[in-house]
Every structure is written in structure tokens, then in C-alpha cells.
Structure 1
Amino acid sequence: MTNPSILYRGGRLFCPADPRATALLVRDGRIDWLGGDGDAPSADRVVELDGALVTPAFVDAHVHVTDTGLALAGLDLSGARSAADVLAAVAGFTAGLPADAVVLGHGWDESAWPDRRVPVAAELDRAAGGRRVYLSQASIHSALCSVALLAAVPEVVRAPGYDASGWLRRDAHHLVRAVAMGSVTPVQRRAAQRVALGRAASLGIAAVHECGGPEISSEEDFTALLALSGAGAPEVYGYWGELTGARRARELGAVGAGGDLFADGALGARTAHLSVPYADGEPGGCGHGYLTAEQVRDHLLDCAAHDVQGGFHAIGDAAIGTVLAGFAGAAGVLGVERLRAAGHRVEHAEIMEKRLIAGFVEYGIVASMQPAFDRLWGGDRQMYASRLGVGRSLESNPMGAMHGVGVTLAFGSDSPVTPLDPWGSVRAAVAHFNPAQRLSVRAAFAAHTRGGWRAVPAGAGGRDPRLPEGVLVPGAAATFAVWSTPAGVGDGGLPVLVSEVAEVRGPDDPTPLPVCRRTVVRGSVIYDVDGDGDDEGGAVGAS
């Protein structure tokens, strides 16, 4: 028995192959027909678009779903502007909590504070009434910990990255994070995951790439999330970041053995591995490389042995150079063409230069990038300028240069490092601080839609590899979003995202972004602005 056919009509469709199309027919999870209202075939049900814009739905190519849900429903420190703000937020959040509660918070970023002093462990103890406190920095590569939490992990004092102040990095951070996140019960975890997936659906996101691993989540967290994939929510494609863990990735249901398999850390924590020292760190400090070229090679060979896509987290140019040296080693065994065919990924790829970009081209590496990083921390006055100097800051996140030579880009948020905000990410790529790295709206939109599907192995998650993804054409998967566009639609068929006034363009551009009215995944409604989520007809208006 087939599902009822549904005709969406009276809208504007982003369909370059038929720019005059105003309607589409969905049948059995596919786009069965597309064209003008007057030519529309009959259908079992009709949805009036009332002038709304229909586009392919977004894919967020790098998220941490449970962390995102905990941040959305818990202690959000992104608005803190001082140590005092953090302590006040902790005190207010913990009032009334049980004495044995573990306090989880996220999002503080001292790089923009007038006084960059952060709270120390004893201050957190007092603010939280002696409770265990774990507060991850915006990058999630360091955290502030209370005395009570440090005492619960006695081995932490011997781990690299430990500091008696309670601000931990590297291995020490991984130890305390495991204990803190281990306090989340299965019920709390499921609730957090549903909150995050619901938020994604409300933003027109049809699929997310979850980046898990033994150093960032747990097997239980990972498999519980995969079980929610597509069940009235965005589809979840999991990446398990365990070195030479391709077999285990397959067993867990992952589509790839990569994601947050750390070749280095993060710029915010000064642990990204650079070839030139940090401008504001210890003399000669270049961060930390966590992998050798030989380990990278062996991981790629392990992925080939199990026919699994691989990948690495690499931010600094030294770390990316190590990863590419490992690719060269693997190519010596497998051959370049077999390596290219696997579609391996590198997450972030922030500090690049021509030689490294050429390596991405040679080995067919997908660059999973986050345009919001430039918006929040790039330019000549923000965190990257402090960490790297203005020159390197403006050269970071070279999306334009990579797109220009054919590197496949897949955009995401790294949520909760930056918020789920797909149109904001498209605008960030269009308004990159460095004009030479800016993308067109169409190219940036493609990286956040079609690029996300291209970054996942064909057929992953039970998808039909014959179905086009990320486009509105007959025969494609019926995965799309319906939008109100308060700033209008441009000549290219996509929303206006930047002001016509050149002086106000940039990270703080006041142009209102589109608002999602409905999100559809393979014909099923996973979000509707009216909250009913049915397809009994009616209207999805643009007002």
C-alpha cells in the first residue's frame, strides 16, 4: 500500500533546473513531479504554501547532540562576560539542586572578556555549595572544574594538561569530562537528545552528523542517539572517533571511523597544533599534536580493511600536515585512487595554506568546516587575532580558496561549540572577514545541504544510493524545508541574507534570516510551525 500523495503548491521553489516552479508533488518519500501550479497533477492531499520558499533541507555535518541538548536545557554560559558572571550563573543554577548533583555548564569564552581572569576551583566550590562542577569552554577542549570534581578524579593530577587552578586541558580534561558526563542518567540523556534534535528540525535541518568517540562521549550515548534517527526527527549519521577502531565503529552503527578523532586540540584552548607559535601563549608554544603520521596511516589502512570511511579532527596547520603525511603513507600501500574513492574527511581544517589545500585535492578529502568560527572568532579584533596575530587570523578558515580548487565542503556548527544556525552559517561564509575567502550564497548553501549528503558514504543509514539528495528535482528524496523570508528572495532564488548597505554587512548584519515553517524528511513532516505535524491539507504560510 502506498502512502497518500501530497501536493505542495503556491510557493517559490529553489530549483535551478526549473526556476519558475511553484509546486511539487510528494509520493512515497520522493519528489514525483515539479512544475507550475497550473500544470500540477491531482493528489490525495494539498498543502497551500501561500508564497513561502521551498528549498532542500539543511544537513549539519558536525554536531554533538547530547551536549547540545544539555546546553539548551541547562546552564548556558555563552553570555558570561567575566569570572563574576560565571560564578553568579553557577550559584543561581545550583540553588535548590540536591547536594550530590553534578553541575554541567557550557559556553564561556574568556577571549572576549575585558578581564580575562577565569574562576578558580575553590571559587566554583563556593558558588556551587561544594558540588561537583564541570564547565566546558566554548571549544569543548578545556573546562573549569571545582575542587569537588577534581577530588573525584585523583589520577588527574598526573595527567598532561592538569592545572591546580581547575582549568584543565588535554588528557586531564578528558579524564574529568568522562566523570562529569557519566553523571548524566539515561533518562536525562534521552531528553537532551530529543531537545537537540527538535531544535535542529525547527531550523530546517533534516540530518546531522554526530561526532562521538571514547574521548568525547560514550558508546551508550552514541548508540542511544542512533536509535532516534529519523523517528519523527532529523536523521543521524554517526562517526566514531577511535584510532584504528573501524571494526568497532561498524559494530556501533557508525557510518565512519572519524569525526572527532583528535590530531590536535582547539585554538581557544591553545591546543591546536601550529607550525608557528601562538602569539599570546607560552614562548615557543605551538599546541599539541596527538597523532603521528604513522598512526594516521595505520588508521586509514584499518578503514580500508573494513571498508569504512575515515577521518580526523585537525585544526592547526601542523596537525593537518601530519594527517596528510599519513595519507601519503596510506597511498603508498593502497594507491591514491583507492584512497580518494573512500571519501575520507577532515573536520575543521582551519589553518591551511596552498600546500595543504593541494593535499586535500590530491586525496579527495572532504573538508567538514564551520563558517561560524570565522564569524565569532575571526577578523582583526577577536580571539584568533589574539591567538595567531592578525595575518594568520585573516588567513584562517579558507573556504573560498578550497571551494575554488574543487575541495568538497560540508558545513556544520560543531554545536554546542557554536549554535545550530544553518542560515547564519551560510551568511557567515558569504560575509567571511577576509573578502578573498567569501563564497556566493549559492555555493555556501550547497555546502550546507548537498555537501552534507556528499560527505556521507553512499547508501549509509539505509539510504537508496540512487536517489539524489540535497536538490529539488523529480526522483529526488522528498527532503526539504519551507521558509518565511522576511528580507525577500534574491535573483538566484535563495533568500536575501546580507544588507544592501555595504557598511553594515558582516558578522552583525541586521538582515533578518529566514524562519522555518515546515521540515520534511523523505516525505514525512518532522517539524511544523503550527505544531500539528500532519499533512491533512491546509496552509503553510509565508507571513
Structure 2
Amino acid sequence: MAITDGTIVFVGQDSVGLALHPDAEVVQLDGAFVAPAFVDAHVHATSAGLLLIGLDLTACASLAECLDAVRKADGPLIWGHGWDETKWPEGRPPTRAELDDAAGGAQVYLSRIDVHSALASTALVDAAPGAREADGWSEDGPLSRAAHHRIRAVAKDSIPVEQRRAAQRAFLAHAASKGVAAVHECAGPDISSVDDLTELLMMVDGPQVVGYWGDTDPIDLPVAGYAGDLFVDGAIGSRTAALHQPYADAPDTSGALYQDVEAIAAHLVRCTEAKVQAGFHVIGDAAMTAIVRGFELAAEQVGAPALAARRHRLEHVEMITPDQAKVLGAFGVVASVQPLFDAEWGGPDGMYAQRLGVERGTALNPFAQLASAGMLLALGSDTPVTPVDPWAAVCAAVHHRTPGAGLSPRAAFTAHTRGGWRAAGVDDGVTGTLQPGAPATYAVWDAAELVVAGSDSRVQRWSLDPRSGVPGLPPLEPGVPLPTCLRTVLDGRVIYDAADRAQA
């Protein structure tokens, strides 16, 4: 592969390439393979960075471990993330009294793994006016809905600017080390801030940042759209995803619907007329019903062709019927999905089944159904909800825990590379591939030899035709290694090099 001024100019036999470019610098890869770099279509950079440099609760195996982690933390504000009570033997999160005892008077904000509810110490609650009177308030348990937003606002405003920037730099460097050359930042007033997004968009040393603002009011920033986490509902783990029928493990609630049909349609119309992307966070089936009806109403006002031309996007798309997928596919809708959600919480014994019952819980994230309905798929992590690990996400999309819901290896790889560019409006036919005329945006990977389970024989190293996708993937079994990133390149510029990091 030959590159000139950040653009691929030749792909083919070495002898031909060297003859055409006799003065080129030659980089030998010694058996490593090259593939288009990944695009993570849904991230929260600052929160993910705070997890990398701060209090990580994702490995806590019990309530007691979570409280011990808080006791060991220090500072006037303790920001932590990642607890998941469904995996703990106690089966519940800490009470506020338990958290206060561990915090020793500090302000503590601990977001649940899905970031749709959080634990807060009394010291932080006292600093958040109106939190106790807001929807979603709990006297002794996790806070959700408006109460959570009030608490989170106080916590994030207490983070010093330099700490916030350090978190962003840490995240971008980490993403680049995973072969990611571009990320879609799903910002918004309840998630981050205009200042946070401004600082992130100014960073140039790592992956390209495509900014989305999850609100209906415009801001003076070069965002790709008013999309991303513009919430129609919440999350299943926090029981705030809007359902037609109550939660199986909490029959007194069916979740929360934050946007009605008319508001959804109005936002779609405004964005379509302004020729920018609109989009929404949607998880529950009642929320999806509202979304589909909103698209239908918007099409009545601006016409289906104008609506489809904007490639509006939906985040998560976990509960959807085949008929709904066909309607959205006809409107050119992008489905920004997270395969590691299924790997983490899917299947008949996972959190989804616990919250919804087995029948509903095993019908989530039907990637094959979305693709067959004509929806453009873009894969991402929603980090810090799940980690930035693109090859694991590709494998999760292929090896779906519900038979028949997964993608082919080629489709999954394409959705995590070219699909991410197309979801952000880059649809020139070459970006996200390795062919002449395409931007030189790629990653170099080392893949160990794979051992066939139960056999002493070895199989060949990974091989990949970057122009057509991945011909095969190893099974998701313990001990089967995924490729290791050696270098990530964006438009011909190296943004990660494992050798440089090893020397440092």
C-alpha cells in the first residue's frame, strides 16, 4: 500500500508498488496485517477518561468492594463509575447511609454502569438545590430521572478544568491504542456541557472527534447534528427505559418517556429543514413506538425523500419490531448500536431477562433484523458504559447471545469502520476502506496464532482482505486472543504507535 499526502494511491503487489514509487519510505510490518481503522459511533469522552484516571467500579464484585473503593478514594469530590448491583451477591446497591459512612463527609457521585442512575452522598445532595423534590428522587437508594440530572450537574461542575482536559486526553489516547481513528462524541446538557464539547473538539492529537449535541436548542459549535443522547427514554438497567408493559422485576413501573410524539416530529422537521442530522436515544419499546410515529408525522410535513436525505440517527435501538425497522429503514435512519450490551447483559440469564423476563429480554438488539430492513448500522461502545474494544464488539455482533440476531463477520466489521463514517455523513464511497483515493486511515494489527480448541494443531494467523472485510473470526472462547494494535493512522498521520509507547 502506497500513501501520498495522507491519501492511498496504490494497493497491490510489492514489486509493482516499489516500481511506481521508487523513492518511497518503506515500512515493513513483519507479518502484521493492515485494516481500515475503527470508528466508535457513540462515546462520552470526559466520563470515559475520568474512569481511566479515576475511580473505576466496574470490577467490583460486591457491595462491600464498592464501599471499600470509596473509602480508599480521596478529594473533596469522589467521582466513580461502573457499579452493577445485578452482578453482586447482595443484589442491591449501597444505601445513602452506607455511602456516607464510607465517604467520611466527602461529596460522592457514583454512576451506575448505564449512567442513567447514580448514588450520591448526603454532602453532594445538600449541594444540589431541588434534588429532593425532583422526579426520580429516592430517600435512600439510587437517583434517576430529573433528580439524577440535578446531582450530576453539580458533580460535573465541580471537576476542575485541568482534570477534565486530562480525562479527555487520556480517553483519546486510549481509543487510538485500540485502533480507533474517529469517535462520535454524544454530548448534551444533561451529560457534559458546551465548554466540555468545545475543548474536546479543539483537541487534534488523537482520533478525529465528530460532535453531536443532544438537545433541541442550537449551539454555536460545528456539530454534526442535534442527535446522540437526546433522550426519549432511559435505560433498562435503571428501569427508566419506557415500556409498553411493566418491568418483570418491578411491576410498579414501566419506565419514563421524556419526549412525546409531537416533540419528536417537531425536532425532525426542524433539523430536516435546516439540513442537519437529528437523532434520539431510544431503548424501550414504548419509546420506539413514539419514535416511529414521530418519523411518520415528520414525513407528512417535509416528505419522505427530504427526511431520508438527512440520515437521521437513533442510538441503541434495543427493542424494535420487524415492521418498525422497515419503516425506519425506508426513512434512511442510522442505527447506532453497541454489541457489547448483548455480550454483557443479553441471553436467557442476563440482566435484560431479569428486568424484562426471558421472552422480552432475549429479543433485544436484533442486529440482523435492522440490517435486513435497510437501516445503516454503526457500531460503538457508549463508553464508559462498555469499554472501547472494537474487535470484541465485532465478535459480540457476530456471536449474538440470541441465535439469528447477529451479523456476518464482514457486516460487523464494515459497521464498525465504514458504517461509522457514513453515519456521520461521510459517504464518498471510499472513506473507511483501503483503496486508491481513500484517506490513509488504518490500523496495523498483530494477531497471535490461534489454537483449535481440543486440538494440538495450529491454524494460520489472522488474514484479512481490507477491501472486502473480515473473512472469519475466532470463536468467543476463553484463551482465544484478539488482535493487538501496533499502530493507528488517521489521514496518513500516526496517532498511536505501540513501539513509541513501549520506549516511553
Which TM-score applies when normalising by structure 2? 0.94
Alpha-carbon shift at residue 276 of structure 1 (Å): 1.9
User: Which residue does the alignment assign to 2:447?
Assistant: 485
Contact 2:186 2:214 in 1 (8 A): yes
* Between 41-50 and 319-328, the greater mean CA deviation after superposition: 41-50
2:59 — aligned with what? 79
Residue 104 (1) aligns with residue 79 (2): yes
1:169 aligns with 2:144: yes
The structural deviation recorded for 1:509 is 4.4
Alignment-mate amino acid for residue 362 of structure 2: L
Distance 1:532 1:214 in 2: 35
Deviations 1:218-241 (A, max 9, x none): 11001110111xx22100000001
CA contact (8 A) 2:249 2:356 kept: yes
1:328 partner SS: helix
Match of 1:67 among 36, 47, 60: 47
Matched, 1:235 2:203: no
The gaps in structure 2 that reach 5 residues or longer are 451-460
Instruction: Quote the offset at 1:167 in angstroms.
Output: 1.1
Equivalent residue number for residue 438 of structure 2: 476
1:7: which partner in 2? none
Secondary structure of 1:395's aligned partner: coil
1:400 shift after superposition: 1.1
Corresponding position of 2:458: none
Contact 2:232–2:287 (Cα < 8 Å) also in 1: yes
Residue identity in the other structure for 2:487: R
- Find the aligned partners of 1:286 and 1:139 in 2 and give their Cα distance: 17
State whether residues 485 and 495 of structure 1, in contact with CA within 8 Å, keep that contact through their aligned partners in structure 2.
no
SS in 2 for 1:361: helix
Structure 2 residue 34 is matched with structure 1 residue 54 = yes
- Structure 2 CA distance for aligned equivalents of residues 379 and 48 of structure 1: 44
Q: CA deviation at 1:213?
A: 0.5
**Counterparts of 2:55 and 2:464, CA distance in 1:** 42
Alignment of 1:381-392 (within 5 A): 381-392=349-360
- Matched position secondary structure for 1:512: coil
Aligned counterparts of 1:187 and 1:321: Cα–Cα separation in 2: 43
- Cα separation, 2, equivalents of 1:477 and 1:291: 39
Q: Which consecutive unaligned segments of at least 5 residues does structure 1 have?
A: 1-23, 459-464, 500-504, 535-543
Shift of 1:163: 0.3
Aligned to 1:374, the other structure's residue is in SS state helix
Q: CA RMSD in A?
A: 1.6
1:176-215 alpha-carbon deviations (Å, 9 max, x no partner)? 0000011111111110000000000000000000000111
1:467–1:475 contact (8 Å) kept in structure 2: no
1:533: how far off? 11
**Could you say which residue in structure 2 is the equivalent of 1:335?**
303
The one-letter amino acid of 1:238's match is G
Cα distance, 1:388–1:166 mapped onto 2, change above 3 Å:
closer
Pair 1:303-2:279 in alignment: no
Q: Given that residues 330 and 374 in structure 2 are in contact (C-alpha distance below 8 angstroms), is that contact kept between their aligned partners in structure 1?
A: no
Residues 485 and 496 of structure 1, relative CA distance in 2, 3 Å threshold: farther
Q: Helix, strand or coil for the counterpart of 2:192?
A: coil
Residue 142 of structure 1: CA displacement? 0.2
Secondary structure of 1:332's aligned partner: helix
**Structure 2: how far apart are the matches of 1:417 and 1:515?**
22
Q: Deviations over 1:131-163 (max 9, x none)?
A: 000000000000001011111113111100000
- For residue 156 of structure 2, what is the aligned residue in structure 1? 181
Is 1:90 aligned with 2:64? no
Contact 1:497 1:513 in 2 (8 A): no
- What is the TM-score normalised by the length of structure 1? 0.87
CA separation in 2, counterparts of 1:497 and 1:102? 44
CA contact (8 A) 1:495 1:514 kept: no
Q: Answer whether contact 2:86 2:92 (CA < 8 A) is retained.
A: no
